[in-house]
Every structure is written in structure tokens, then in C-alpha cells.
């Protein structure tokens, strides 16, 4: 299948090609929505952001933009709103078991499939053994839950807010958590109005398809609500703005694409393995990975600093933890709405200036479709991201 012409791919959960438009309309929509949301967040919780900024400064921690702080507070509120009750009822022993399984999976890659199978069944069993807790405002328990499902980067970033809360009395903490939840509830309404057209398939998938996957390791991911898709859209836009200037000053650009963008299934794809992922060998001219690779090569011929390399990796940036011989690099990560924004935090943790690029829709065999649907992304937007223009006020609220 030539995924470069798959303009009407089956919508599994979301699609950036709503109403027959290409994704260019979406990118203008999310930019406008982000501008409006940041202004409303500044009015609603600006004092909290200032307090948090002062806390970090006093602790000698590196500064981030107020836009990043606002998104972090929103992410905390959304995750508490959507998963706080599950986190509160998670038995401690089960959380520890899941974290042990994750460590084994990281240490012994050859056992990955077996460990994922075990994680799925342990997670399913744990939901049958809830502790009876029902409160959903416990940030510490949310952090434990995030780590138990493999979202350690999210937990690490949000734990900085818990460190801030630990300096306050209990009443003040609860007041701030309530405001975070209120921020999430307002966002749920405004984002659905602005972005709901792109996520109309989510509710059907969550109610009809996801329950049949409840014993899988990724059951938490594929069961995410429309609100969390909208959170991901906003997060990618905000983090791209925050990391933009550092990305553009990097000497070498790399574009990371997921395996689901290949036109051929894994056993037929001729991509060559390297320490930093697989590289296309041009086995299928219509393959989107091939086209992006050629685009990077063409740009390098006309202007060396504007070219880029392309690597195929599933969903891990750890291969770039040691970048010996690669020089000063900036990364464009292409992935689905649910994972892209936290991938930005992953890259930041590794010291990689990154830009996020969304798949127009999902279709991989890892999570969404048994046979797989070759996915796609907007090439015009990709070229815009790797352009050399540094916008002014890129880190402002």
C-alpha cells in the first residue's frame, strides 16, 4: 500500500484530516487554540505559576517558561481527573510488581514480549483488587500509578510539583489541587469545542474496542479519553514553542519516524539497522519513510545545514542517551497524539532539543490494528519545523 496517497485512511481514534481537509487546517487550529488557552491559563492560575517559578528559583533549579508550567499544571489536573481514583485504589504491592517487571523488561530486551504479557495480566488482576480508596486528589499516588504503567518521565516531571506542595500546609495544597482540577475541567469544555472534530472516533474505540484488550500491557494507553487526546495536542504545540530556539541552533537535525509509517510490513522492509535505529534503503518508492528520507537528502545537497537524517525507531529515545560521534543534534519526533508530548519531556531529560510532529492518524500493529494501517504525517508541516527561522518570543507565556 502506498501510504503517501492514503487520504482517506480508516479512522481508529483520531484524525487530523477532519472533513476531508489535510492536516494543515489542524495545525492552524491548534496554534490559535493554544494562544487563547495560554491567555486564559495566565488569568486563571498565573499566581500559582509565579509561586512555582519562585520555588524552583529558590531551590536552584533551571527555569522553564510560564507556558510550560501552565501545561504541567493542566496535565496534573487532567491526569488526576481521569485517573486519580484508579491511582488511589492501586494496591501498593501491585504497583511495585509492575515497576519490577518494567525494570526486567528494560534490562532484558529479549524477554520484552513475555514481560509485556505478564504486565497486562498483572494490571488486569490489580483492577479486580482495588483497595477501596475513592479520593482522586492524591498526587503521590498518581505518581506511583504513572510509574507502574511505565510513564516515569511524566511522573518525574510532575513530582516537581509535589516537591512544591510539600513546602505548603495541607489546606493550601488541597486548594491548589482543586484549582488544577478546575483548570482541567474548563479545558475539557473548551478543547472539545475547538478540537473535538479531530477526535470523534475515540469514544467508540474506548467503549467498544478497548475493553477487548483489557489483559494487554497497553490497556491504559488505548483506553485514554478524548480529553487526554486534546491534552496531547496542546502539549505538543506548547513544547514545540518552548524548545524551538534550542532545536534550531543544533548543528545536526534528525527525524525519528515510527515503524507504522513504513509501506511494507516489518518482515519485508529492507531498512538497515544502526545503533540509532533503522535507516531506509529505498525498497518501496511510495513509502512515506522513503519520501521523508529523500527529502532530507535533497535539502542537504542544496543547503547542508537544512538537511536531516531519518531513523526508524518504535517509541524509545534511549538510543540517543549516548550520542558519541553524532555531534550537536536536534530531534524531530513523529508519533501519535497520546505519546508525542511526553516524548518531548523524554528528549528534554536526555538533553535533546526536540520538536514534536503528529501522525495524521493511528494504525500501528503495536496498539491499534491487528493488520496495521500505514500511517502518515504532513510533509509541509515537517519542512516548516526543520526550517531555519527562529521565531521571536518563542518561550513566552
> Of 181, 208, 233, which one is at a domain's C-terminal end?
233
The secondary structure of 159-204 as a DSSP string is HHHHHHHTTS-HHHHHHHHHHHHHHHHHHHHHHHHHHGGG-TTHHH
- pLDDT surpasses 90 at 378: yes
Same domain, 192 and 308: no
Beta strands 272-274 and 277-279 are: antiparallel
Residue 394 lies in a domain: no
Q: Report whether 374 contacts 46 (CB < 8 A).
A: no
Largest Cα span, the chain: 64
**pLDDT tens-place string over residues 34-54:** 999 999 999 999 999 999 999
Q: Give the range of the structural domain holding residue 286, as residue numbers without chain letter.
A: 250-385
pLDDT band, very low/low/confident/very high, at 64 (cuts 50, 70, 90)? very high
Looking at the DSSP assignment, which residues form a beta bridge with residue 329?
A: 252
pLDDT mean over 336-340 = 94
pLDDT band, very low/low/confident/very high, at 5 (cuts 50, 70, 90)? very low
- Distance between CA atoms of residues 64 and 152, nearest Å: 20
- pLDDT surpasses 70 at 397: no
The number of C-alpha atoms within 13 Å of 58 and in the hemisphere containing its C-beta is 9
Same domain, 34 and 95: yes
Nearest CA among 262, 257, 258 for reference residue 2? 262
- The total number of structural domains that make up the chain: 2
**pLDDT tens-place string over residues 274-302:** 888 888 888 888 899 999 999 998 888 87
- The least confident of 203-212, 311-320, 388-397 is 388-397
Residue 98 or 186, more confident: 186
Same domain, 207 and 340: no
Nearest CA among 254, 235, 202, 211 for reference residue 342? 235
Same domain, 62 and 200: yes
Residue 59 or 9, more confident: 59
Res 382: pLDDT: 93
Residue 393 lies in a domain: no
Same domain, 227 and 279: no
pLDDT band, very low/low/confident/very high, at 324 (cuts 50, 70, 90)? very low
pLDDT mean over 215-229 = 85
Same domain, 33 and 158: yes
Same domain, 327 and 213: no
Q: Phi and psi at residue 362, in whole multiples of 5°?
A: -95, 160
Same domain, 158 and 266: no
Same domain, 162 and 311: no
Range from 64-73, 106-115, 127-136 that averages highest in pLDDT: 64-73
Residue 242 lies in a domain: no
Residue 245 lies in a domain: no
Residue 16 lies in a domain: no
Residue 14 lies in a domain: no
Same domain, 254 and 219: no
Same domain, 286 and 317: yes
Entry pTM: 0.87
Same domain, 169 and 281: no
Residue 239 lies in a domain: no
- Distance between CA atoms of residues 160 and 154, nearest Å: 10
> Of 206, 233, 260, which one is at a domain's C-terminal end?
233
> Of 201, 233, 265, which one is at a domain's C-terminal end?
233
**pLDDT tens-place string over residues 145-191:** 898 888 889 999 999 999 999 999 999 999 999 999 999 999 999 99
Residue 304 lies in a domain: yes
Instruction: Give the burial class of 307: count Cβ atoms within 10 A of its Cβ; 0-12 exposed, 13-18 middle, 19 or more buried.
Output: middle
Amino acid at each position: 500500500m502506498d501510504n503517501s496517497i492514503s487520504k482517506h485512511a480508516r479512522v481508529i481514534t483520531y484524525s487530523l484530516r477532519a472533513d476531508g481537509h489535510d492536516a494543515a487546517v489542524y495545525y492552524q487550529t491548534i496554534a490559535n487554540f493554544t494562544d487563547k488557552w495560554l491567555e486564559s491559563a495566565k488569568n486563571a492560575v498565573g499566581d500559582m505559576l509565579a509561586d512555582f517559578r519562585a520555588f524552583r528559583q529558590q531551590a536552584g533549579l533551571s527555569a522553564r517558561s510560564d507556558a510550560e508550567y501552565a501545561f504541567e499544571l493542566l496535565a496534573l489536573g487532567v491526569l488526576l481527573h481521569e485517573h486519580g481514583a484508579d491511582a488511589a485504589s492501586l494496591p501498593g504491592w501491585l504497583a511495585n510488581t509492575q515497576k519490577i517487571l518494567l525494570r526486567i523488561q528494560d534490562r532484558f530486551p529479549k524477554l520484552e514480549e513475555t514481560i509485556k504479557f505478564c504486565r497486562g495480566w498483572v494490571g488486569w488482576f490489580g483492577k479486580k483488587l482495588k483497595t477501596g480508596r475513592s479520593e482522586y486528589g492524591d498526587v503521590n499516588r498518581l505518581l506511583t500509578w504513572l510509574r507502574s504503567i511505565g510513564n516515569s518521565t511524566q511522573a518525574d516531571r510532575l513530582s516537581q510539583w509535589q516537591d512544591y506542595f510539600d513546602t505548603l500546609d495541607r489546606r493550601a495544597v488541597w486548594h491548589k489541587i482543586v484549582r488544577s482540577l478546575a483548570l482541567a475541567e474548563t479545558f475539557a469544555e473548551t478543547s472539545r469545542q475547538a478540537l473535538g472534530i479531530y477526535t470523534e472516533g475515540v469514544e467508540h474505540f474506548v467503549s467498544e474496542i478497548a475493553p477487548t484488550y483489557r489483559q494487554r500491557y497497553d490497556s491504559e494507553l488505548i483506553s485514554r479519553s478524548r480529553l487526554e487526546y486534546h491534552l496531547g495536542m496542546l502539549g505538543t504545540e506548547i513544547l514545540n514553542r518552548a524548545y524551538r530556539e534550542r532545536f534550531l541552533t543544533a548543528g545536526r537535525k534528525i527525524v525519528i519516524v515510527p515503524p507504522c509509517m513504513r509501506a511494507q510490513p516489518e518482515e519485508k522492509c529492507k531498512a538497515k539497522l544502526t545503533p540509532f535505529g533503522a535507516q531506509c534503503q529505498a525498497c518501496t518508492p511510495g513509502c512515506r519513510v522513503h519520501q521523508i528520507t529523500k527529502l532530507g537528502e535533497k535539502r542537504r545537497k542544496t543547503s547542508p545545514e537544512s538537511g536531516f537524517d531519518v531513523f526508524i525507531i518504535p517509541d524509545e529515545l534511549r538510543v540517543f542517551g549516548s550520542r558519541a560521534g553524532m555531534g550537536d543534534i536536534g530531534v524531530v519526533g513523529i508519533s501519535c497524539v497520546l505519546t508525542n508530548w511526553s516524548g518531548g519531556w523524554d528528549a528534554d531529560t536526555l538533553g535533546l532539543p526536540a520538536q514534536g510532529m503528529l501522525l495524521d492518524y493511528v494504525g500501528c500493529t503495536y496498539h491499534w490494528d491487528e493488520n496495521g494501517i500505514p500511517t502518515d504525517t504532513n510533509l509541509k508541516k515537517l519542512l516548516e519545523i526543520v526550517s531555519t527561522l527562529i521565531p521571536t518570543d518563542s518561550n513566552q507565556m
